[in-house]
Structure 1
């Protein structure tokens, strides 16, 4: 799932390990999200949104939304 996690983490001067600790997950889990190897659970997506004080939709792209160019 496309996301802005890496950009947001850099903007907040957080390492993957620091963010992982804030979220209750491993550094490897943060890396897997950033590289789009895994999608977050709904619970984790909301925890991430809370950390960055942004709506989930501002961080993660909905894969079920049809792009305007495809309509």
Structure 2
């Protein structure tokens, strides 16, 4: 699953560190999510969406494998 978190974060002028602080996670967690190395919990996904003022559907891009 890919995501738009980096793009949305940068559009809002937030650093990974600042977004991480607001989400109560480490900067490394935000980095791993942005680089598709870690899928966030549902709670964290909603927290990210809320802070970035988008829906969870706007954050993530699901590509079904066939």
TM-score normalised according to structure 1 size: 0.85
5 Å-filtered alignment, 1:12-23, equals: 12-23=12-23
Greater strand fraction, Structure 1 or Structure 2: 2
Note the aligned Cα RMSD (angstroms): 1.5
Greater Cα radius of gyration, structure 1 or 2: 1
Greater relative contact order (Cα < 8 A, sep 6+):
2
Question: 4+ runs of 1 displaced by more than 2 Å?
Answer: none
Moved more, 54-63 or 21-30: 54-63
Listed one character per residue, the Cα deviations across residues 6-57 of structure 1 (whole Å, up to 9, x for unaligned) are: 0011001111100000000000000000000000100000000100111100
Structure 2: 5+ residue stretches without partners: none
Structure 1 unmatched runs, 5+:
none
Partner of 2:42: 42
Partner residue of 1:62?
62
TM-score when normalising by structure 2:
0.91
